[in-house]
Copies of this chain bind each other. A is one copy, B any other.
Amino acid sequence: MEQATRRRRVNGEASRAKILDAAAEIAVERGYDGTSIALVSAKCGLPASSIYWHFRDKDALIAAVIARSFERWSGAWTIPTDGTPELRIEAMVAQIAQALLDSPDFLRLGLMLALEHRPVEASARAMFLRVRAEARATLAAGFGDMIDGLTPVQLDQLVTYAIAGADGLFIANEIGGDAVDLVELLGIHAHALLDLAQRMSGARL
């Protein structure tokens, strides 16, 4: 009996994972609206009604896809604590770049959603904005730790510019494919961030 329950639970989680995999694959290819439940059902082999057993609605499904991809990404890098600011920023950006190549789904999907201004599809978009804010806070803490003498406004601008570069280069890589070397270009971006930070704190002095 206990065995059966455990088996059941395990099967349930396996089904959930199959659904998430299928949804991620489709959503990344076709966007939020292009991801129909029927398509996900066909790809994962479970009937549409089973998808609704695991997820409240389509919105929650996409939100879960984003959350899972973000967790993988954010678990794949940490803020370096040793070395000069130059080395630490470079190391951090290199880690982030690699994590982005390994878990790009949340960003690809999230940017699509972020560019729309709809009131609907609340939870998927909200999920992206939440994880983005989380990443932003992590970055701000890291930069504040590495570089001294920045006002909050300056720090904010620095983080905004840092993320913008990452977003833009991520898009360039998505569009341009292998012709765009994401790691190298993010390295260039790391350099620009350092320059900017120094100019900022220098201007302050």
Contact = CB atoms under 8 A, between A and B. Distances in A.
Copy count, this protein chain = 4
Contact of A196 (B116, B117, B163, B188): B188
A142 B161 CA distance: 24
Given A192-B195, A196-B192, A31 B115 contact: yes
B174 A115 contact: yes
Interface in A21-37: 28-34
Contacts of A180: 160
A176 interface: yes
A167 to B, nearest CB: 4
Contacts of A189: 161
A60 interface: no
A175 interface: yes
A80 interface: no
A27 B86 CA distance: 43
Contact of A31 (B116, B176, B191): B116
A141 interface: no
Contact of A161 (B112, B166, B171, B185): B185
Interface in A88-139: 108, 111-112, 114-118, 129, 132
A75 interface: no
A191 to B, nearest CB: 8
A7 B129 CA distance: 49
Contacts of A33: 31-34
A157 interface: yes
Greatest chain B CB density within 10 A among A108, A118, A172 is at A172
A40 interface: no
Given A29-B118, A31-B116, A115-B112, A188 B161 contact: yes
Interface of A: 28-34, 108, 111-112, 114-118, 129, 132, 157, 160-161, 163-169, 171-172, 174-176, 180, 185, 188-189, 191-192, 195-196, 199
